[in-house]
Structure 1
Amino acid sequence: VPSIHDQPIVFKFPDVFPDELPGIPPVREVDFNIELIPGAEPIPKAPYRMAPIELKELKDQLQELLERGFIRPSVSP
């Protein structure tokens, strides 16, 4: 299974990339918001196809992020 550490840029500069995620980024002083257009809907698009090994890696990474509190479950229409 390919790892982030297999990426050339990560391999070349290992001291820049942490082995573990250190935590949620700090609150920024700049307020940011995305203006939504009333009535706008997402463009329907089929999900990308993934090889079974890639799908397993994606699920493992999502589970880790969920356990660490970086992401939360979402239900979309």
Structure 2
Amino acid sequence: YLNEWTTKNTYLLPLISEIMDKLSGAKWYTKLDLQSSYNNVRIKDGDQWKAAFKTNRGLFEPTVMFFGLCNSPTMFQNMMDATF
């Protein structure tokens, strides 16, 4: 339901040739385990209620992104771009 009302963010994917050009002169490469990657992106204060969900243990407002939110991939990639 939340994704239906969410304004979709866009992220333009780079061309493979551009990525290969950037990698060709690199001295070091790394590999990242991104299994819980979205959990590293905080949901803005004041917007957490929008992703709230109810269980038999009560109502929860997540403080970090999670899988299933339509903008999680875009927000995570923007964070990675800003970091690296």
Q: Which has the higher contact order (CA 8 A, sep 6+)?
A: 2
TM-score normalised to the size of structure 1?
0.22
Return the index of the structure with the highest Cα Rg. 1
**Greater helix fraction, Structure 1 or Structure 2:** 2
TM-score normalised to the size of structure 2?
0.21
**Greater strand fraction, Structure 1 or Structure 2:** 2
